[in-house]
Structure 1
């Protein structure tokens, strides 16, 4: 097996008496996406800053593409790209000029930079805007250009710190498609986000952090199952059959919630097996259903069950560097 693309090993960062990151460890295999999920102030950005050599760990270490952030920071920087919470492109330059500027800073040949700039503008749907100054770009266009700039040197690893913050829903979905394309091409992504839907959509695995500590890790489905909040939801076709449907359902489950206005019954379930069992029960009855399905908990439900508060209710940062 090849070495992991990203490793965090007992990372700690303190600011005075504040322990912003407290013993954080995880591994990201090559060509996968890790979602680092948590509220504002959870320590996500501080973790990324340590892993990208922007700040030194107080304790522990990290490796990017096999290079240690403490002992070989130059190799780490050559192996990764970073897109922060705010687009960092130069607004007075065109999109193409931004790409060429960063390419020259990397020491890449002018012929390669011209070719790569053309390809990246096309890949990020910016060809028509490539020769316009960036201050005329929309927020979504700036974020796409920021990503393109971070890829000019074709790094195998990309760190994305809340890349869709401030984008409208359409621009967010467009950027998700771009990120999926990068992964298909073999790029490894570490994505920090406080958008639960974003982690659900993009991440192969999710690490949940709260107040600087890892509190859970797994796939989105594993985390949802861990909350134990899955439910069978039945919608009865005729309101007059709701009582009979409730009685039938209560004979097979321990608890039933009734919504008379929606003609809906909800019961706890452990998974698809329970739904199949209940479907067979109603199929053998004369009660007509409009719908029957399994509703899994959202990641917001998971976060609430793990922490006692929702993701958007996180505490404010304790230090100006301890953000997101």
Structure 2
């Protein structure tokens, strides 16, 4: 395939500019979000309240002309509040499906870990199969469908731990973090005349996003790079400090994300550096360490660094 043409490059640049105008000083995180979107994956943003998680997602939704819905998760939320419900119509003498907010292109599940595990499980089918089943009837979701969820750290009041099966369905997990001194000062002036979200203009429609996703799938992956991805994934399962390593779904997600990342960087092929950069964001939330390893101060990040040192990096030899 060809690298992004001028039109695609301009579109991606405009999307970045839109998002960065609302979330100052977070260029890397904006790029990660766009990477997941172009790869067709779901994103989990975990951070303390007030760091801009919801603003970033709403900025993306305003930049893309598609259907957008928001779910504010809380313990009272029911599964049918997400998927929809079948309602009996006496006149028609039949049950009619009333779609829930999941029937959209971009779904924001705000503070997802404040919902009960039963309600969280209502999203599993939607995340993996892009459909929901209500009263035995399967309903396809619009394409593209992307779930962008936020969550507070698990030690915060009123939060539930997301089960491993649901975490595994998120392509990426990352945090925004606090801004530095100068960036936080710029925020004060950037919102003096209103919130930057109010000034955003749509950049593309969902059809353009779908077209970009199709082009991302054509990005070339050398056999040696594919071996590199699989070797890293297998090492996470074999490492003595790891109780649960990366799943085959995670391996596929890492390769898909790397293709999108290469495309954003205007390359038609994936390089090992793409894999190394994205692995902590794709594998990190899927790995569980043994309790003994955690007591000894080991972290997922330190384990991944040791794995990188053990796996040989493929090198392209010039002829």
TM-score normalised according to structure 2 size: 0.31
**Structure in which a larger fraction of residues adopt strand:** 1
**Structure in which a larger fraction of residues adopt helix:** 2
- Structure having the higher Rg: 1
